[in-house]
């Protein structure tokens, strides 16, 4: 049985726009350009007891732009690249379909990760760059990076905090975790 002490905290990360620059439907490692500040952010999580879990919508598969095998292969390459720099992503969760409870902003992928890794969502964080990265679930705090997508609605209703760099998000996170 799990007791309270076994619950873990997590840093959930959207992939495109947070790990790599969002060039729309990236699926080859050669097209990966890492976002400024991502290594420092992952390092902080790795050294402060936060699991790092990627949650990514990959509807390019449903659209036939690339295959699920490409997604898996890309994540393996990214993982290898990070591990060579002593950075750890604990899990890569993706959704290939549109009509799915797992597709963000629906919370299926996060619930799946929560149950698999025994995560306390109320002590966890989601970082993304799109309104749909604010998931329909109570618990985690959401920090959004201003990038390619409109965040005006979110800003208005204050359901997430909005930042202009991952460096600023890391500084914010440091106030939460010590």
Identify each DSSP E strand in 15-173 by its residue range.
50-57, 91-95, 125-128, 141-145, 161-163
The conformational region for residue 78 under phi > 0 = left, psi -120 to 50 = alpha, else beta, is alpha
**Residue 129 in contact with Mg ion, rule: CB under 5 A:** yes
Active site includes 99? no
**Residue 126 in contact with Mg ion, rule: CB under 5 A:** no
Among 11, 12, 14, 89, binds Mg ion (CB under 5 A): 14
**Residue 16 in contact with Mg ion, rule: CB under 5 A:** yes
HSE, side-chain direction, 13 A CA sphere, residue 18? 26
**Residue 26 in contact with Mg ion, rule: CB under 5 A:** no
Concatenated DSSP letters of 117-159:
HTB-GGG-EEEESSGGGS-SSSS-EEEEE-SSS--HHHHHHTS
Active site includes 31? no
**Residue 60 in contact with Mg ion, rule: CB under 5 A:** no
Nearest-approach distance from CB 130 to Mg ion, in angstroms? 5
- Considering CB under 5 A, how many residues would be counted as binding Mg ion? 5
Choice between 14 and 114, CB closer to Mg ion: 14
**Residue 94 in contact with Mg ion, rule: CB under 5 A:** no
Which residues belong to the active site?
14, 16
């Amino acid at each position: 049985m799990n007791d309270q002490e076994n619950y873990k905290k997590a840093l959930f990360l959207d992939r495109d726009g947070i790990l790599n620059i969002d060039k729309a439907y990236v699926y080859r490692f050669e097209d990966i350009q890492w976002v400024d500040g991502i290594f420092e952010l992952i390092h902080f999580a790795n050294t402060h007891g936060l699991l790092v879990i990627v949650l990514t919508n990959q509807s390019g598969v449903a659209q036939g732009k690339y295959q699920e095998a490409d997604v898996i292969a890309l994540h393996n390459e990214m993982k290898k690249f990070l591990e060579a720099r002593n950075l750890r992503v604990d899990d890569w969760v993706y959704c290939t379909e549109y009509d799915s409870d797992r597709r963000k902003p629906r919370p299926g992928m996060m619930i799946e990760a929560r149950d698999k890794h025994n995560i306390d969502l109320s002590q966890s964080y989601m970082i993304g760059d799109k309104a749909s990265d604010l998931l329909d679930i109570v618990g985690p705090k959401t920090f959004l990076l201003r990038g390619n997508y409109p965040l005006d609605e979110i800003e208005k209703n204050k359901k997430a905090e909005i930042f202009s760099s991952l460096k600023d998000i890391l500084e914010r996170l440091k106030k939460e975790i010590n």
